[in-house]
Amino acid sequence: MTELTLPLRGLIARPLRTLLTILGIALAVAGFVALTGLTAGVQHSFASGIDENGADLVVSQRGAFNLVSSTVPRSLGSGLSAVPDVEAVSGVLLNITTADDAANIVMAGWPAGSFLWNDMHLLAGRIPAPGDQWPVILGESIATALDKRVGDTVELQFQPYQIVGIASFSSVLNQNSAIVPLEGLQQLLSREDVFTLYEVRLKRPLDKNDVAVARTRLMAAAPGFEVGDTEQFANSIRIFDLLQAIAQTISLAVMAMASVAVANTLLMAVNERTFEIGVLAALGWSPRRILRLILIEGVFMSAAGGVIGIILGALAMEMAAKTKFAAGLIVPYLSGWSIVQALIFVFIAGPLGALYPAWRATRLLPADALRRI
Amino acid sequence: MSLLVELSNVGRDFDSGRIVAVDDVSLAIEDDETVAIVGRSGSGKSTILNLVCGLDRPTRGEVRFEGRAVNGRAAWAAVRASRIGIVFQNFFLLQSLSAGENIEVALLGNLGGARQRRIRALELLAHFGLAERATLRPAELSGGERQRLAIARALANRPKLLVADEPTGSLDVQTSQSVMSIIGNVHREFGTAVIVVTHDEEVAALCGRRVEISDGRIRSDSRVAAISTPTPASRTR
């Protein structure tokens, strides 16, 4: 018998209550993992989506609130192209809209002749050609989800587009995006002469130092604008900070509720086990040891809830990402850091909830406790 | 022979002083004594016992153990853990633990290592004829076995003082005799001082000293003879 035997037996002796409390903690942790994971997933999805198109650096508006609100003037392009390390630059206009009013989709407007078209892996059809009327290339996932083929029509931004190609991408964002000629999208959005960002491709061969040098030069060529790699670009978008803050606030509130659930369960357990605590005190268990007994029960429940919660959270993210309206925009992203954060929360919330019942247990006089049988 | 427990003008009130359970009790017990605290139900004898082992806190007066005033829950817990073994009328065994574990739980914190605790528990179970019952839960034991287990648990940490609150109150005549015999043997074998709270004069007669309580006060305190072992013929009920 060890010091863990008694708390474990205590929990097993009340299986339903223990299970419900663990479930409460698990749901709180799942909420945290899913909310923060999905927020990080969106960010990660945008970064990898832009990265995939062959760009090494991105020039965007400094401190843009969201992905589509960044505005970079067309006039910046010539200065960026003139930087010695730059092979090519391409303005890109991004927009989030609905496709056929059935799914949310990212529309990307690419200029004709841009290097972005070069690495595209077409599964069917072709890239838009001059003379095409509102042509679009759909990512494979969104084409499948909407049951669209080359030659079909899809309504984007209230404009019927003709599907000329279906392409395969590695990033979830691009798999669920629609790529259209830049001019048409600028016209639809009334954003002529501006882009959301410039994607910059550097000359090969390339090493880390080359990228750093090129970044410094591009910053000089585009003063007041953000220059960074795709990850830095995604991180600079302030809406992600807002989403993270909302996710963390909700998570904290849910964690607090889980802590109260632990407190309630253990308070009931302490009340029910007054006699047992009295016996232990009579046997010479110190108040500190009795406190530890109750805290260990809290930690056991929190640990179990934490592990189950992480699994539930990961499943919830997968399910959320599979819904038609979230496809491509929401990507499950379970990082080691979010698991660590969840476990830190759990190992604070659980014992915190157990602290008051444990303290109450230590305040009992053994004679009073033993009288209560 | 030295002073083990000393109560000096101890009082214990309940219900904001409306009930005086123990009033101005002074009692000194040596480390080789066997003491019976007798009295009717509600006389205050169990409250005195609770005060002797720090299970309760006196409203007035002072309790000293081995010459030192003991104050606070933690200090009393330390004294009970190493110096006092308690046997209750209703055994107060933990139902979620086996017989062996019920002894081991008293050793936690006093005897390091799960293996050592296990060995000590098995020794005690064997000593009290419960070796075969080590893995059984208290509910699976007879009344006599439970009380023997409770005594074994009380002796786990080799206490200087064994206190028993109505140890035979829940037992039949035969089992009571057996339990009192065991308590007598504990005194003789281990040199443990014994305090027994009882309303049973025959149990009290087995002790070397008799303290009578009435209305929370000591009415008489007399020394008779050393503890004796009951024989079946000496007891009727």
Residue A324: the pLDDT is: 65
SS3 state of residue A205: coil
In the block, residue with structure tokens 């991408």:
A169
Stronger pLDDT, A165 or A337, i.e. the higher one = A165
Question: What CATH number does residue B183 fall under?
Answer: 3.40.50.300
Cα–Cα distance measured from residue B49 to residue B195, given in angstroms and rounded to the nearest whole number? 8
How far is the alpha carbon of A12 from chain B, nearest alpha carbon, in Å?
10
Question: Does B97 contact A279 at a Cβ distance shorter than 8 Å?
Answer: no
**CA A368: distance to chain centroid?**
53
Please return the burial class of B8, using the count of CB atoms within 10 Å of its CB with bins 0-12, 13-18 and 19+: middle
Per-residue confidence band for B225, with pLDDT thresholds at 50, 70 and 90: low
Chain A residues interacting with chain B (CB cutoff of 8 angstroms): 1-3, 5-6, 9-10, 13, 275-276, 278-289, 362, 365-368, 370, 373
Residue B14: the pLDDT is: 93
Cα–Cα distance measured from residue B134 to residue B107, given in angstroms and rounded to the nearest whole number? 16
- pLDDT at position B226 over 60: no
Residue A36: the pLDDT is: 83
Q: What sign results for the dihedral spanned by CA atoms A317, A322, A324, A329?
A: positive
Give the H or E element holding residue B151.
Answer: helix B143-154
Q: Give the pLDDT mean for A313-324.
A: 83
Question: Does A3 contact B108 at a Cβ distance shorter than 8 Å?
Answer: yes
- Both tokens assigned to B2: 């030295």
Residue B206: the pLDDT is: 87
Give the H or E element holding residue B128.
Answer: none
Please name the residue of chain A whose CA is at the shortest distance from the CA of residue B101: A1
Please name the residue of chain A whose CA is at the shortest distance from the CA of residue B96: A9
Top-ranked range on mean pLDDT: pick from A247-251, A316-320, B83-87: B83-87
Residue B231: the pLDDT is: 47
Please name the residue of chain B whose CA is at the shortest distance from the CA of residue A1: B114
Instruction: List all residues 6 or more positions away from A79 whose beta carbon is below 8 Å from its beta carbon.
Output: A221, A222
pLDDT, tens digit, for every residue of A138-170? 999 899 989 999 999 999 989 999 999 999 998
Stronger pLDDT, A325 or A24, i.e. the higher one = A24
Eight-state DSSP code of residue A203: P
Domain total of chain B: 1
Question: Does B56 contact A367 at a Cβ distance shorter than 8 Å?
Answer: yes
Residues in chain A with CB shorter than 8 Å from the CB of B55 are 281-282, 365-367, 370
Residues in chain A with CB shorter than 8 Å from the CB of B92 are 275, 278-279, 282, 370
Residue percentage of chain B with pLDDT more than 90: 71
Residue-range definition of the domain harbouring residue B38: 3-234
In this predicted structure, which of A42-56, A105-119, B13-27, B197-211 has the lowest mean pLDDT? A42-56
How far is the alpha carbon of A65 from chain B, nearest alpha carbon, in Å?
59
Answer whether B92 touches A (CB < 8 Å): yes
How far is the alpha carbon of B151 from chain A, nearest alpha carbon, in Å?
12
CA distances from A266 to A30, A293, B60 (A): 22, 11, 34
Residue A64: the pLDDT is: 74
A232 in Cβ contact with A51 (< 8 Å): no
Rounded-to-10 torsion of CA A293, A299, A303, A309: 130
Residue A326: the pLDDT is: 65
Pairing of strands B60-65, B68-69: antiparallel
Pairing of strands A121-125, A103-110: unpaired
Instruction: List all residues 6 or more positions away from A276 whose beta carbon is below 8 Å from its beta carbon.
Output: A10, B94
Nearest to A6 among B50, B74, B105 (CB): B105
Stronger pLDDT, A160 or A248, i.e. the higher one = A160
How far is the alpha carbon of A290 from chain B, nearest alpha carbon, in Å?
11
Query: Torsion-angle region of residue B45: left (phi > 0), alpha (psi -120 to 50) or beta?
Result: alpha
Residues in chain B with CB shorter than 8 Å from the CB of A366 are 50, 54-56
Residues in chain B with CB shorter than 8 Å from the CB of A1 are 97, 100-101, 104-105, 108, 114, 117-118
- pLDDT at position B235 over 60: no
Residues in chain A with CB shorter than 8 Å from the CB of B96 are 6, 9-10, 13
Q: Give the pLDDT mean for B62-81.
A: 94
Per-residue confidence band for A328, with pLDDT thresholds at 50, 70 and 90: low
- pLDDT at position A334 over 50: yes
Residue B145: the pLDDT is: 93
Answer whether B68 touches A (CB < 8 Å): no
Please return the burial class of B31, using the count of CB atoms within 10 Å of its CB with bins 0-12, 13-18 and 19+: middle
Residue B9: the pLDDT is: 96
Residue percentage of chain B with pLDDT more than 70: 95
pLDDT, tens digit, for every residue of B98-143? 999 999 999 998 877 899 999 999 999 999 999 999 999 999 999 8
Please name the residue of chain B whose CA is at the shortest distance from the CA of residue A275: B92
How far is the alpha carbon of A366 from chain B, nearest alpha carbon, in Å?
5
Q: Give the pLDDT mean for A257-274.
A: 78
Answer whether B79 touches A (CB < 8 Å): yes
Please name the residue of chain B whose CA is at the shortest distance from the CA of residue A366: B55
- DSSP notation for A323-342: STTTTTT------HHHHHHH
Per-residue confidence band for A207, with pLDDT thresholds at 50, 70 and 90: confident
Cα–Cα distance measured from residue B143 to residue B170, given in angstroms and rounded to the nearest whole number? 8
Listed residue (B28, B24, B56) closest to B161, CA to CA = B28
Cα–Cα distance measured from residue A272 to residue A9, given in angstroms and rounded to the nearest whole number? 14
Q: Which of B10, B46, B47, B50 would best serve as a mutation to test chain A binding (most A beta carbons within 10 A)?
A: B50
The interface pTM score, or ipTM, of the predicted complex is: 0.91
Task: Name residue A218's amino acid.
Answer: L
Q: What sign results for the dihedral spanned by CA atoms A52, A53, A57, A61?
A: negative
**CA B192: distance to chain centroid?**
11
Residue A101: the pLDDT is: 82
Answer whether B110 touches A (CB < 8 Å): yes
Nearest to A367 among B50, B92, B153 (CB): B50
Answer whether B75 touches A (CB < 8 Å): no
Per-residue confidence band for A121, with pLDDT thresholds at 50, 70 and 90: very high
Residue B237: the pLDDT is: 33
Per-residue confidence band for A35, with pLDDT thresholds at 50, 70 and 90: confident
Residue A249: the pLDDT is: 85
Q: ∠ at Cα A95 (A91, A96), nearest 5°?
A: 155
Residue percentage of chain A with pLDDT more than 90: 36
Helices and strands counted in chain B (H then E) = 7, 10
List helix spans (H) across chain A: 5-13, 15-51, 76-81, 140-146, 172-175, 182-189, 208-221, 230-236, 238-272, 274-282, 287-322, 336-363, 366-371
